[in-house]
Structure 1
Amino acid sequence: MSGNPAGLTLEIVNFEDPRAARLRGLLTDELLARYATEEEPHLSEAAREALSVPPEDFIANVLVLTAVGVPMGHGALRRLNGEWEVKRVITDPAARGLGAATVLMAELERIAASAGARRVILQTGGKQPEAEALYRKLGYRQIPTYPPYEHAIPTSICFAKELQPMEDRLV
């Protein structure tokens, strides 16, 4: 879809795309490894429900590909309570540090802004310091935990970023 100086490309795909599904599986595995405890080896029912998004609710699913087409990152957008929410952001652990997450987040923001969004929001957890650092570096500011996470996952850390209107980006 578009390129960049690092040779990474972006592709908007269907939710069912097997490359996207593989990356989302890596995300699930990583989150379980970080958050599972002996007392709570699985997510609570409330947390599973809060994190569950029907595939038809996603507006965009974006892959970041290497110059030779290897998928290395995934992220998605959905509408939630009138907001644009960033979901399922993952960079393959084998490809971290190459700029994929920055390129991916810029594309998700571009898609949302082109559809008229004034800001995007997202939810992450306290055991994901790399994600927190990335979002802060990209200009996201912490906001109060929003529904459905405030009760289901009270340890959530939520962020928002104001978007520049598309007409201002063309100047």
Structure 2
Amino acid sequence: MKIEQVAWADPEAAALRARQRAEIAERYGTPDSEPGVAPSAADIAAFFVAYENGGTAVGCGGLRYLGEGIGEVKRMYVAPPWRGSGMALQILRGLEDWALGQGWTSLRLETGDAQPDAVRFYTRSGYERIPNFGAYTGVESSWCFERPFGSDRNFASPTR
């Protein structure tokens, strides 16, 4: 398995994001449950794709810079056959490594109340629930989380 930084417009990245949005639409029963501005090439600082050993793209995640050293995880996704394999954690740690390398001090994210699997994953990965921020403020179905980068934690990715 390898994780590579790619352009937002990369066809495999776009296909993974489309799969992620289709799954979210199915869970929430609406074609667009994005409370805020959807991420785009203009506001995503970095986007990564995970490839299985045969070279097939099976997961992704990106980062949006919010300012003041804070980034937001966007479009985190792992194809269903690869869930539980540790790939999601490797993608997340890769995002954290990249953010730390930029001098960012924490990462935030938003997930929803219909995604208990995501909530479990992020809390097990060291993220703690915070009051909703930005466009998620006042959206009851949105749950926000944050993980500050402290000197007490080694953020080295297990893939490196």
Same fold (TM over 0.5): yes
CA distance in structure 2 between the aligned counterparts of 1:9 and 1:143, rounded to whole angstroms? 32
Q: Distance in 2 between matches of 1:48 and 1:142?
A: 19
User: Equivalent pairs: percent with the same residue?
Assistant: 31
> 1:113 offset after TM fit, Å?
0.5
Of the three residues 77, 95, 111, the one matched with 1:90 is: 77
- How many residue pairs were aligned? 153
1:54 CA displacement: 2.8
Cα deviation per residue 1:60-92 (whole Å; 9 max; x = unaligned)?
100111112111110000112442100000001
Q: Structure 2 matches for 1:24-103, cutoff 5 A?
A: 24-36=17-29, 41-43=30-32, 48=34, 50-82=36-68, 83-103=70-90
SS in structure 1 at match of 2:8: coil
Q: Is the 8 A contact 2:17 2:77 kept in 1?
A: yes
| 1:142 and 2:129 aligned | yes
42 and 68 in structure 1: CA distance in 2 versus 1, 3 angstrom threshold: closer
Determine the structure 1 residue equivalent to 2:15.
22
- Please list every run of at least 4 consecutive aligned residues from structure 1 whose deviation after the TM superposition is greater than 4 angstroms: none
Q: Any stretches of 5+ residues in structure 1 without a counterpart?
A: 1-7
- For 1:13 and 1:93, how far apart are their aligned partners in 2? 22
| Match of residue 9 from structure 1 | 2
Provide the C-alpha distance between the structure 1 equivalents of 2:25 and 2:116, rounded to a whole number of angstroms: 15
Structure in which a larger fraction of residues adopt helix: 1
User: 2:2, 2:50 within 8 Å by CA — same for their partners in 1?
Assistant: yes
The secondary structure found in structure 2 opposite 1:55 is coil
User: What value does the CA root-mean-square deviation take over the aligned residues?
Assistant: 1.8
TM-score by length of 2: 0.88
* Aligned twin of 2:141: 155
TM-score (norm 1): 0.83
**1:155 Cα offset (Å):** 1.6
Unaligned 5+ runs, structure 2: none
SS at match of 1:73: strand
Helix, strand or coil for the counterpart of 2:63? strand
